[in-house]
Structure 1
Amino acid sequence: MKQTEKTNTTRRDFLRTGALAAAGSFFIVPRHVLGKGYIAPSDKLNIAGIGVAGKGFSDVNNAFNNGANNVVALCDVDWNHAKEQFEKHPKAKRYKDFREMLDKEGKGIDAVTVSTADHTHAVAGMAAMQLGKHVYLQKPLTHNIYETRLLTEAARKYKVVTQMGNQGASHPDQNQMIKWLSDGVIGTVHTVHVWTNRPVWPQGIPVPQPSGQVPDTLDWDLWLGPATKVGYTPAYHPFKWRGWWNFGTGALGDMGCHLIDPPFRVLGLGYPTEVEASVGSVFVKDWNAEYIPEGCPPSSHVQLKFPATAKNKSAVIMTWSDGGIRPFRPEAVPADAELSEPGGANGVYMIGEKGVMICGAYGANPKVFLNNGEKMEHKSEPVKAPEWGHNLAWQQACKAGFNSKEHKALTSSFDYAGPLTETVLMGNLAIRSYDIRVAKTTGQGFNYPGRKKLLWDGTNMKITNFDEANQFVKREYHNGWKLS
């Protein structure tokens, strides 16, 4: 199933130089001879998609790039859900199992997009990388911290070009925020607040019950993959899986990589050293809160601490709020000032000694409010490429190769996206630890030992002061699946 290093190197060289066809001795005619706009076959990537509906629809078609590359294979466990994608690329081979697709089509595939539900990100991404395929993998990189660390290391081991699908990482407005910080405009940052209106799907509700016949177009066992086996219900597929730990990563997994990315990048943050959480409760009757360990809470509030960095000479306290809970305005932000997005649905405050820097999701529309009353605003430049060229930059790096300047210039290769995703998932570890109940009911209610600050050893992926929390660092794989 694996290609040899010789095969991988030959294919990369072939794509990079465009000098010879892979089989035989005929020469590729230079594109300037064939006419302006013509793309020689040697300059095209052969793309395969895993999970090709929903966000996968745009991921595959951004990689297709209006014919600049070939879409040769498409894989989705639900062929009704993927129907529009299949019709758009009628010549692409169709599969339900990505393992079968990679086995049968692997030699002809250069790069893979992975846009499945969170719980199958790692197994699909790893399988592609082990065959030497470049990977564009949707955010969050994986379902848990252990998987993220394995994929980050695998990208280096197999020397493949990688990019996580947090497209705001390529938003040019982030460069303006980096400049404001380096110029000392707001001084050293000590506090960051991040918030979102997610979840925008049912969350904090009782566990859905199986609801009958699996649709003929859906392979439910393949959709479950390594997750705990449960019965089919449309309350999980195709979108509402996000609120259930068996499959999703909640509001943090949905928006954390978009919103935490700007302060993570601007301040040069790495692994947090500690994390603490509190969550919203659902009361089914007076004084009786419903505890649903299988599902994400209706809202959560998380605090992470980061050490000082080369870019920012102060430790940073970052708070995350979801469920529509927004932090109050810092003193420097006027009472009637517009925030980063209409209605302030999503946003970031970076609070420094001299003022506050604000942006929305993806780092868009940054502003500065200084303590002296001065305001600075940056107007975004129109960008023609979809999603600020995030997928396009990945394509160019795939053609240039692993050691190329194009690869090093990517804004969310796994070397960067890995630590970012681990930070996001650290919040979920604290949320899940919050409701661990190890004591029996007493006259005084439950004992919640998880309601404490968790101390994190990032190098060794371990909570050092509450061992029970470490069960959430990784997951048990089911149904014969494994990750190695």
Structure 2
Amino acid sequence: MKRRSFLQKSAAASAAFTIVPSFVLGCNNHVAPSDTLYIGAIGVGGRGGGVVNELTQYGKVKFVALCDVDDNRGAASYKMHPKAKTYRDFRKLYDNHINDIDAIMVGTPDHTHATISIPFMRENKHAYVEKPLTHNIYEARLMAQVAKEQGIVTQMGNQGASSDGIRTAQEWINAGVIGTVSRVDCWTNRPVWPQGFKHITEGQPIPKNLDWDLWLGPASYRPYNENYLPFKWRGFWDFGTGAMGDMGCHIMETPFKALELGFPYEAEASCTTIWSGDFVEADYPEACPPSSIVRLKFKSPTQGDVGLNWYDGGIMPDLPSELGEGETPGKDGGGSIFYGSDGIMITDTYSGNPRLLPSERMKDMAAVPQTIKRVTTGHAGEWVEACINGGSTSSPFSYGGPLTEAVLMGNLAIKAYQKKEFKPGKKSGDWDPYNYPGRRTIKWDGDNMRVTNYEEANAWVKREYRKGWEI
């Protein structure tokens, strides 16, 4: 089936009737929904393979079909589930198994999350999608909308959202342990892949194990090159969302939830300058920068004005003077520092585990009551249980969508900084030491999903889709 026909068929079917889950009809020997969740998984190598393993270890699931455009990357998952049907093209999984599955897991690169997930979601299939939820803000808004309309169970794959640590941090904030928070500094050691590439024009032979056209999906066609795969795609705007997109949904999760943040109303960035030759600034707008600083501003219903500052690529925020000798902030290459009117709190990258500065204050923390229910099943298991028995998840698309939007707002500011504007009389490509890139403040109208003060940035809110891949 052609991509466009596939999407039209999916949308029409969703509008015309409600899909009755296959276990209700007794199709394919399904047992009662309280026993097993039947899953179709797309993107089962790399991180997607990790999720397949997590779901397998938790149990209560059966993988009906597995799909990956790279036979080699998907091999471990295929071996783990030898009875599952295997495909390269997710549309064939849809055609052959839409009535055999209850849910999907999507672990593909960022740029294909929405185009793969939405057709299945419109058929009332529960969805687990890796972070960041989408490649652009429009898709994040659409994913949340479709999930709400269909009433399905969803979970974004930012595992820290189900941790005890983030709940402890939230309880400390709610108890006023550090007072009113006005500033949070977040940082990561990413990228750990190459970023700042010159545009790649040279093509190479496509490996036999890879369907390159399917991997590109909605992105414009270009020749295959080994500098894109695997994992290095994160450094190209057409495919990935850079260091902030990769780690923002982990590290910003704790402040976003604990401070009840929503859409940022402003974003500003500055980035590493890339040089080629002697004193000649290279113009590589298709690649994410090697490092960046992003400043986001929020209105919190509990804290008031909150500034969130993001640092990546080896750039670090100021270290609090309250750090003791030999003490280091964060864990796993990043973290967050909360500055409150009555103290400072540091949280870790993935777990959100909090600690106070100075460290002597920690002896009093046992007195803070536990008021938020803990997740005992793990992130993937929580989703399985909610799909089977009903209930909520820690990062449903109604929450993961806005979190992803906040992260991707930072990328709008980065792209604005990368956008070169030359003085009159200067040719594009001429170096001008007094004409730095954008460094403009992006003002965001979250309700209407628009940049209000820089029209060009609105083109980045939604991507251009390759013909046949529109959503």
TM exceeds 0.5? yes
Give the whole-Å Cα distance in 1 for the aligned partners of 2:341 and 2:279: 44
Q: Is the Cα–Cα contact under 8 Å of residues 366 and 377 in structure 1 kept in the other structure?
A: no
Specify the alignment match of 1:123 in structure 2: 115
Specify the alignment match of 1:242 in structure 2: 234
**Helix, strand or coil at the partner of 2:404:** helix
Cα distance, 1:376 vs structure 2: 5.2
Q: What is the identity, as a one-letter code, of the residue corresponding to 2:462?
A: K
Match of 1:257 among 249, 263, 266: 249
Superposition pairs for residues 5-16 of structure 1, below 5 Å?
8-9=19-20, 11=22, 14=24
**Helix, strand or coil at the partner of 1:289:** coil
Alignment pair present for 1:426 and 2:409 = yes
Match of 1:94 among 86, 93, 99: 86
Cα distance, 1:338 vs structure 2: 3.0
What CA RMSD, in Å, does the superposition of the two structures yield over aligned residues? 2.6
Specify the alignment match of 2:204 in structure 1: 212
Superposition pairs for residues 276-425 of structure 1, below 5 Å?
276-309=268-301, 312-341=302-331, 345-369=333-357, 374-375=361-362, 389-400=378-389, 404=390, 406-407=391-392, 410-425=393-408
Q: Is the Cα–Cα contact under 8 Å of residues 434 and 451 in structure 1 kept in the other structure?
A: yes
Match of 1:462 among 442, 446, 450: 450
Distance change >3 Å, CA 140–CA 271, structure 1 → 2? same
Gap regions ≥5 residues in structure 2: 1-8, 367-373
Cα distance, 1:339 vs structure 2: 2.2
Give the whole-Å Cα distance in 2 for the aligned partners of 1:211 and 1:89: 35
Alignment pair present for 1:481 and 2:469 = yes
TM-score, normalised by the number of residues in structure 2: 0.89
TM-score, normalised by the number of residues in structure 1: 0.87
Cα distance, 1:82 vs structure 2: 0.8
Q: What do residues 406-441 of structure 1 show as CA deviations (whole Å, max 9, x unaligned)?
A: 12xx11000100110000000001000112124356
Distance change >3 Å, CA 179–CA 27, structure 1 → 2? closer
Cα distance, 1:69 vs structure 2: 1.4
Distance change >3 Å, CA 279–CA 220, structure 1 → 2? same
Give the whole-Å Cα distance in 2 for the aligned partners of 1:67 and 1:337: 40
Specify the alignment match of 1:33 in structure 2: none
Specify the alignment match of 1:34 in structure 2: none
Specify the alignment match of 1:22 in structure 2: 26
**Helix, strand or coil at the partner of 1:368:** strand
Q: What is the identity, as a one-letter code, of the residue corresponding to 2:152?
A: V
Alignment pair present for 1:76 and 2:68 = yes
Give the whole-Å Cα distance in 1 for the aligned partners of 2:376 and 2:200: 35
Q: What do residues 426-476 of structure 1 show as CA deviations (whole Å, max 9, x unaligned)?
A: 000100011212435638557457321111101111111111111111110
Cα distance, 1:314 vs structure 2: 2.3
**Helix, strand or coil at the partner of 1:426:** helix
Give the whole-Å Cα distance in 2 for the aligned partners of 1:411 and 1:153: 18
Q: Is the Cα–Cα contact under 8 Å of residues 332 and 355 in structure 1 kept in the other structure?
A: no
Specify the alignment match of 2:3 in structure 1: none
Cα distance, 1:62 vs structure 2: 2.3
Q: What is the identity, as a one-letter code, of the residue corresponding to 1:191?
A: R
Give the whole-Å Cα distance in 2 for the aligned partners of 1:236 and 1:275: 29
Cα distance, 1:286 vs structure 2: 3.3
Cα distance, 1:105 vs structure 2: 0.8
Q: What do residues 15-39 of structure 1 show as CA deviations (whole Å, max 9, x unaligned)?
A: xxxxxx7269x997xxxxxxxxxxx
Q: What is the identity, as a one-letter code, of the residue corresponding to 1:8?
A: I
Give the whole-Å Cα distance in 2 for the aligned partners of 1:84 and 1:457: 45
Distance change >3 Å, CA 388–CA 447, structure 1 → 2? farther
Cα distance, 1:324 vs structure 2: 1.2
**Helix, strand or coil at the partner of 2:95:** helix
Give the whole-Å Cα distance in 2 for the aligned partners of 1:222 and 1:27: 31
Aligned length: 448
Q: Is the Cα–Cα contact under 8 Å of residues 105 and 128 in structure 2 kept in the other structure?
A: yes
